[in-house]
Amino acid sequence: MGARRPTAFIILLLCFATANAQHGKPGSESRYKYDVGFNFHPGFLIAHRDDARNLEAHTYGFELQFTRQYRREASKLTWASHYNAPRVGVNFLYMNLGRPGLTGEVYALIPNFETSFKIYKKSEIRFRLGAGLGFLTHKFDPWENRHNLAIGSHVNGAMQTFVSYNHEFGPLRVKVGVGATHFSNGSFRVPNLGVNMPSFILGANYAFGTYAKDHDTGDTLTDYKFQFVGSYAFKELYLADPHEFHIIGINGARIFRRNMITDWRLGADMFFDKTHQFLKDPDKSRKGLRPWEMTEVGVFGGHQWQINRVHLLTDVGFYLYKPSSNKFFTYQRIGFLIHVTDRVFLYTTLKTHFGVADFFDWGIGYRL
């Protein structure tokens, strides 16, 4: 089973936000460096599959937010120069999913990025994109909670996107907007339909702290041409009789620089995935498989978007070889590179086939 994600919407939203941000002027940002806020999220849980319609309900949530604004400098070109009033922050989110004995509640920590464009002197439209981890109190259990066919694990990936109207009253900013929150585990455990909560956002932030000149470490990430990654994934198949699989992946990419915040990627993947043989014959031993019985080889093209020391990546790949016809001829990937040093980065992505999750993988990479 797989969860469908609004990845196309998120990418279009970020593209739109950045396109508008390019036309801002240095010095137009707030004089404040930090802000803290509180948001209220009234909304509803919607099902994208008929077998999860029993989970639909009105939801509500509360969110504590902390952000830092980065200024653009007229004298120095940095990653922040390509966005209008960019903010990087983290949110702590509580949501009641509307079915106390079925879906319960969720607690999440979600790092996020915001950019904007001004519409009046003290008013602006802000765009937020975030991804993190959430803990759901009620998951599927064959004995105690068998009617929850959406989530098979307590720990899940979280994704958020919002657009809001913001108005300043000195250091106080109020906001109203709309967006969506999504939780799923990328087939780490079954079932994995995921839950989607569109909602309104009503909130206020209080700004504080004088701005000090920043030294953007992101500027040192612009001179590399190649990336190499080793990764690991874990997935589960079949709800009635779950089977666990460990997947190893390697990939390499040539990087083509567009500007300080955007790169094109062109590369190749190799995955060692034993699910092909299991889906062909569940009784066949998974020990001693020959390389061509479990190896996937693909090529991909994609894009990287830099936000300080984090890159958001999106890829579209095509299989040159796969051991069975159980997967589509093409795959998609969305994820993050998080730089530990200028050359070494942590890697996490979600691999899908037309919106159906294959697996989350985690790894480490190196740039040349």
Domain segments of the chain: what residues? 7-210, 217-367
Residues 342, 362 contacting (CB under 8 angstroms): no
**Encoded tokens for 130:** 């975030």
Pairing of strands 226-237, 195-210: unpaired
CATH architecture of the domain 7-210 equals: Beta Barrel (2.40)
Q: DSSP states of 97-111 as a string?
A: -S-TTTT-EEEEEEE
What gap in Å lies between CA 107 and CA 110, rounded to an integer? 10
Provide the residue type at 83 as one letter.
Y
What's the chain's length in residues?
368
- Burial (Cβ within 10 Å: 0-12, 13-18, ≥19) of residue 250: middle
Q: DSSP states of 312-325 as a string?
A: EEEEEEEEEE-SSS
**pLDDT on residue 34:** 92
**pLDDT on residue 145:** 86
Hey, CA dihedral for 288, 291, 295, 301, is it positive or negative? Answer: positive
Residues 175, 201 contacting (CB under 8 angstroms): yes
**Encoded tokens for 106:** 């969720």
pTM: 0.81
**Encoded tokens for 195:** 């839950």
Contacts of 183 (CB under 8 A, 6+ apart): 106, 108, 134, 136, 151, 156, 157, 158, 159, 194, 195
**pLDDT on residue 49:** 75
Residue spans of the chain under pLDDT 70: 1-30, 72-76, 211-222, 238-241
Residues 29, 124 contacting (CB under 8 angstroms): no
Residue 206: CB atoms within 10 Å: 14
Distances (CA, A) of 253 to 221, 226, 296, 313: 16, 6, 17, 12
pLDDT in tens, 230-245: 999 999 886 666 788 9
Q: Do domains 7-210 and 217-367 have the same CATH topology?
A: yes
Measured at the CA of 185, the angle between CA 180 and CA 190, to 5 degrees, comes to 125
pLDDT in tens, 272-321: 999 998 888 887 787 888 999 999 999 999 999 988 889 999 999 999 99
Question: Which CATH class for the 217-367 domain?
Answer: mainly beta
**Encoded tokens for 82:** 């390509």
